Amino acid sequence: MNYKKITAAVTAALLTVLTGCNSDGKAPAETTAEVLADIHNKSNIENGTILHAWCWSFDTVRESLPDIAAAGYTAVQVSPVNEVIPGGNGGLQLMGKGKWYYQYQPTDWTVGNYQLGTEEQFVRMCAEAENYGISVIVDVVPNHTAGDIGAVSDSLINAAGGLDKLYHANYTKRISNYTSRIECTSYSLSGLPDVNTENPAFQDYFIAYLNRLIEDGADGFRYDTAKHIALPDDPQVDPDLPNNFWERVTTEITDAENIFNYGEVLQGDNDRIEQYLTAIGHTTASDYGKLLRGYLIGEMLNAELLTGFQVGGSENVVTWVESHDNYTDGSSAALDDSKILRGWAVIAAQGGGTPLFFDRPYGATGYDRWGSMNRIGAAGSPLYKDPAVAAVNRFRTAMSGESTELTNCAENAVLLINRGSRGVVAVNSKALKDQSISAPTSLPNGIYPDRSGMNGDFTVKDGTLTGELKKGTVAVLYNEGYTEPLKLPDVSIDTDTFIIDGSLDITLRLTGAGSGTYTLDGREETYTDGDTLTLPAGTEELKLSAGSADGTSVMTYYFTERQTVPASAEIGFTKPTGWGDTIYAYIYNESGSSLRKNSVWPGEEMVSAGDGTYTYTLSEEWDSALVIFSDGKNQYPAAMEPGLDLAEGMLYSVPE
């Protein structure tokens, strides 16, 4: 567990929560984001809620802290902060000219990278999070390095004792049998070189990285691909090197007893999850998430089967409705915002586990995964701060210490999460049908407003809870310990596209404040709700902000200029020495809801123009497309690298 430093003012605020009154006996008045955050966010990460700010930059997280705090989160989890391979020539699209998964290709374990920000920006983010009572969890990736070993830093290689000591002997051999623990822990995962995590010199280097993160303000770590790092009793790759990675990284770091650690252990194929729970302290609960997603899609929430987290009875797990892995691979595509909200209510209203809210990209749906901005660094979907999501977060904090019981009612269409005799969250599994609730309860007699704002009042009389639960909604019911949420402004823009074709007209939106500001091209202007703004060609960034007595909300939008290549345009390629005589051009665009391509791999054959030069004429128009050249064996750019920007009349060549 991680306990924050608490000021005298915050201590008074926490006492207010416990007593329900100020020192003068009057009801509390919440006026600042800092006080609200400290009231509603437990210092104990384990008992709170985590916002997974997937691919947000450090500055974006820092600017969003008032909203994160007001939404009741305990912690924010950031993407890997270590030095990474600059894929796609440093492009910052989630998919396309750049890729999110380069974050998981370390070239060194130092703090800061081109995708999320510098170490100085990380430090500022952590310091501001401390002010809001928000803990910072860092996603760390010790299992492998970038696929391009040539990009791995000399400092890391030398610290490990050379390349042969940095990697396992079979580091390039792909795992073929996941039931084999020796393959799982020492062979290559997804083609990435497997680090020798038993090497004491590497362990020292990685622990120094963890300690630097702790010094900079980190409060916990998520260990990526933890199942692929050996447990103490797993087969040893080297008889002289014990499997002691987990023991060292969980005990030899600074302030080890207060650091929150959890490992990504995807269940199945000899996962040994109970042993990982013992070794690390916490793991993910992937089977529970899969079960919950299935129930949400099937519109049935079975209380008996949803009781327990399917990890051998332990509650030391991080739970989720979806993770970045099952989102990016499309397996959670059938979940819309309503299903995510209801699934969140199921996991976050319970007392066990530590729920993690994965924030999808801005403008994304399950079937359009990269969203309308398709941008690394930007804040994601505003669903994370939806009033109903925030109400569930606040409920969880208020119910700390109360027992959890799951029951069904309304002919099993409704799941009730009962928290002792103080609160209930009701979840309607049906998207298109209202439900009348009449269920036994331990709540005291009285009227219970739905704190989510989605339904009206519910009534408890003589041990029976009654009320109307609208289709596809949740009801958050409690009176004892309830405090009014902050009312932060909401800033946004009305547009479905972030591609500028010459210029782009947008409407600026604002609620909760009389006026706000926008920053464009370095100048700051005042605006009111409904004002229109024309963004000129070349606009890359627009920042909106607005403040109230309760705090300030900030949102930054990113834009891309349209790059259209017309049909009949011609491109060329100079063949490198050693390539074959048949050259292909593979043109594609994967930034939308589905992959568009000119042909199946390796593409369409180019025409030889002599002297090693080949040409290709486009048969259709392309927007913001990429191109890869190949002879069927060799390719440029290399595998796992995005293509080159498609440009009319361009003669491409491989750099010497």
Tell me: the pLDDT tens digits for 49-66? 999 999 999 999 999 999
Measured CA to CA in angstroms, residue 88 lies from 16, 97, 127, 559, 644 at distances of 52, 5, 32, 18, 8
For residue 440, the model assigns a pLDDT of 98
Q: From CA 312, how far away is CA 308, in angstroms rounded? A: 9
For residue 543, the model assigns a pLDDT of 98
pLDDT in tens, 119-151: 999 999 999 999 999 999 999 999 999 999 999
For residue 43, the model assigns a pLDDT of 52
pLDDT in tens, 467-517: 999 999 999 999 999 999 999 999 999 998 998 988 999 999 999 999 999
Task: Please determine, for residue 8, whether its predicted confidence score (pLDDT) is greater than 90.
Answer: no
pLDDT in tens, 612-631: 999 999 999 998 889 999 99
For residue 496, the model assigns a pLDDT of 85
Hey, how many other C-beta atoms are within 10 angstroms of the C-beta on 521? 11
For residue 593, the model assigns a pLDDT of 67
Query: pTM score > 0.85 for this model?
Result: yes
Catalogue the active-site residues.
224, 264
CA atoms within 13 A on the CB side of 44: 9
Q: From CA 456, how far away is CA 446, in angstroms rounded? A: 14
Q: From CA 596, how far away is CA 626, in angstroms rounded? A: 10
Q: From CA 624, how far away is CA 208, in angstroms rounded? A: 42
Task: Please determine, for residue 641, whether its predicted confidence score (pLDDT) is greater than 90.
Answer: no
pLDDT in tens, 306-358: 999 999 999 999 999 999 999 998 899 899 999 999 999 999 999 999 999 99
Is there a contact between 35 and 9 (Cβ–Cβ < 8 Å)?
A: yes
For residue 639, the model assigns a pLDDT of 81
Measured CA to CA in angstroms, residue 233 lies from 181, 241, 245 at distances of 10, 12, 12
More confident residue, 261 or 592: 261
For residue 6, the model assigns a pLDDT of 35
For residue 17, the model assigns a pLDDT of 35
For residue 35, the model assigns a pLDDT of 52
Mean pLDDT of 278-287: 98
For residue 413, the model assigns a pLDDT of 97
Q: From CA 80, how far away is CA 55, in angstroms rounded? A: 9
Q: From CA 338, how far away is CA 341, in angstroms rounded? A: 5
pLDDT band at 41 (very low <50, low <70, confident <90, very high): very low
Task: Please determine, for residue 191, whether its predicted confidence score (pLDDT) is greater than 60.
Answer: yes
pLDDT band at 425 (very low <50, low <70, confident <90, very high): very high
The sign one gets for the Cα dihedral 602, 607, 613, 616 is negative
Q: What is the mean pLDDT of the chain?
A: 91
Mean pLDDT of 437-450: 98
Q: What is the rounded end-to-end Cα distance, in angstroms, of the chain?
A: 52
Q: What is the largest CA-CA distance in the chain?
A: 91
Q: From CA 72, how far away is CA 53, in angstroms rounded? A: 14
